[in-house]
Amino acid sequence: MTHPVLAQLAATADRPGPVVMGVVNVTPDSFSDGGRWIESDAAVAHGRQLAADGALVVDVGGESTRPGATRPSTDEELRRVVPVVEALAAEGVVVSVDTMRAEVAEAALAAGGAIINDVSGGLADPQMPDLVARSGAPFVVMHWRGHAHDMQTRAHYDDVVGEVCSELTERVDALLAAGADREQLVLDPGIGFAKTAEHNWQLLAGLEQVVDLGYPVLLGTSRKGFLGKVGRAEGQERALDARAVVTAATSARAARAGVWCVRVHDVVATVDAIDVAAALGEVRSLRDGRCATSSGNGESGQGERR
User: Cα–Cα distance between 166 and 159 in angstroms, integer?
Assistant: 10
Q: Which amino acid is at 294?
A: S
Residue 263 annotated as catalytic: yes
Residues 6 or more apart in contact with residue 173 via CB below 8 angstroms = none
Residues 6 or more apart in contact with residue 264 via CB below 8 angstroms = 20, 21, 22, 23, 220, 222, 247, 248, 251, 270
**Is residue 193 within 8 Å of 169, Cβ to Cβ?**
no
**Is residue 264 within 8 Å of 251, Cβ to Cβ?**
yes
Residue 229 annotated as catalytic: no
* 15-to-4, 8, 40 alpha-carbon distances in Å: 19, 14, 31
Q: CA 164, 260, 304, 278: dihedral to nearest 10 degrees?
A: -130
Question: Of the listed 223, 224, 243, 284, which one is catalytic?
Answer: 224
**Is residue 113 within 8 Å of 129, Cβ to Cβ?**
no
Question: Of the listed 171, 253, 263, 284, which one is catalytic?
Answer: 263
Cα 306–chain centre separation: 22
As to burial, measured by CB atoms within 10 angstroms (0-12 exposed, 13-18 middle, 19+ buried), residue 159 is exposed
Active site residues per annotation: 224, 263
